[in-house]
Amino acid sequence: MNNDLNENLNFEVANSYKRWNWWPLFPLYPYGTKKTIIKEIVPKMIWGIEQLQGLYYVAVPIRLTVVKVPNGLMLINPLPPTKELISYIKLLEDEHGPVLKVVLPTSSGLEHKIAMPAMARCFKNAELWLCPGQWSFPLNLPLGFLGLPSDRTKFLLKDGFPYPEIFDWVSLGPIDIGLGRFQEIACFHKISKSLIITDALVGINSKPPELFEYDPTPLLFHARDKGSEKLIDTLDQRKKGWLRLVLFASFLKPHLLSIPPIKEIIGNSLRPGLRNLRSHLGIYPFCWEEGWEKSALQIIGKQKPLLQVAPVIRRLVFPRAKNEFLNWLDKLSCLKGMERLISAHFCSSVEFNNYECMKLIRSIKSTDWENSEGNYNFLSVLDNKLLNLKVVPKDPLKKFKD
């Protein structure tokens, strides 16, 4: 009995460390209970703090990057500050000094901006740096209303940049995406030769991210072929689930995926062992067609992460702004001694040097950027719909041409 009580108590304490009560503002998996891990990316200089984020168990890692700066730390790409996340930062503060600056280098990354006010409250003496052109949805609220104190809030570009002697800052955008604007400002940490970005580039590999070791449910849920199959935890199932999550996260609706008739979905549900919320009562409304695995492996690196422009960004944000994207890459290719990319999604550290950057530029120049074939079909149809409804503009640069 005492053991049971202790276990329950430990579970409660552990859960309270992961709690994030503001989750209804951006209701994505894993909702109000977010496991956080920390990884040292560059010894004694850069750390990645990761949580999962997704929809319908399609979860991928999202990352806050911590950089050692003179007399303290700088946080880039904020995340929901659960007690667990703050405890990791406190450990770094004990060794390296206080958090001096918190940087939100994106104007559109809702998943980071949602955490900025809470971060501002956690680090009351830190300077807050924002990418210009911040907007909120569905209501565009002023920054003060969102909980960002004006006396310690600054804007990248307009007010300069934090530590320009240590970092080079390179802006991508702004691009008009209808609801607001897309812009992200890459940050090159010269000492560690690391380029820290938000969404534009990612590196994906075939090994499921470490966070799934704490709860592999999303992998196992999507590794099945129908709702009547139990969630079975094997390495193969985890790997299969990961390939499918990558396809979902990259293309929203992969082309070798169909939705079975509702009668079939219902018929496969509520089987013994699956009548629980974890298994969504056995409801699995997808059917993967032959060849799906091969199409996943085209965007996943085998031995090391495969560097790429995130397909959603390419097809929904930059379809008519290829040159803007290339200009940004051109500037990145001139950064002296670049060695690695640390983006806010997928792999924490990706080999990225000037040669790789030039290679990427060449491959983009020779690709059909507005591709509508295969996995790009759904994104292309969606883009055309938004264009026809005038939700997104034909010329996404027009608004900012002056």
Interface with Fe ion (CB under 5 A): 109, 199
* Tokens linked to 370: 């507005």
Residue with smaller CB distance to Fe ion, 202 or 335 = 202
What is the identity of the amino acid at 272?
Answer: P
Residue with smaller CB distance to Fe ion, 26 or 155 = 26
Of 72, 77, 45, residue with least CA distance to 62 = 77
Instruction: Give the shortest CB-2-to-Fe ion separation in angstroms.
Output: 45
Instruction: Give the shortest CB-290-to-Fe ion separation in angstroms.
Output: 32
Of 156, 166, 150, 158, residue with least CA distance to 71 = 166
φ, ψ of residue 248 in degrees (nearest 5): -60, -50
Residue with smaller CB distance to Fe ion, 105 or 109 = 109
Residue with smaller CB distance to Fe ion, 81 or 109 = 109
Instruction: Give the shortest CB-149-to-Fe ion separation in angstroms.
Output: 25
Residue with smaller CB distance to Fe ion, 120 or 200 = 200
Instruction: Give the shortest CB-53-to-Fe ion separation in angstroms.
Output: 8
CA distance 5 to 23: 29
> b/e string for 178-201 if b means 16 or more Cβ within 10 A?
eebbbbbbbbbbeebbbbbbbbbb
Residue of minimal Cβ distance to Fe ion:
199
Question: Distances in Å between the alpha carbon of 318 and those of 200, 306, 322?
Answer: 10, 20, 6
Instruction: Give the shortest CB-29-to-Fe ion separation in angstroms.
Output: 15
Give 106's DSSP letter: B
Handedness of CA 380, 383, 387, 389 (dihedral sign): positive
Contact criterion met (CB below 8 Å) for 65 and 198? no
Handedness of CA 216, 220, 29, 116 (dihedral sign): positive
Instruction: Give the shortest CB-250-to-Fe ion separation in angstroms.
Output: 13
* Tokens linked to 91: 């450990």
Residue with smaller CB distance to Fe ion, 118 or 201 = 201
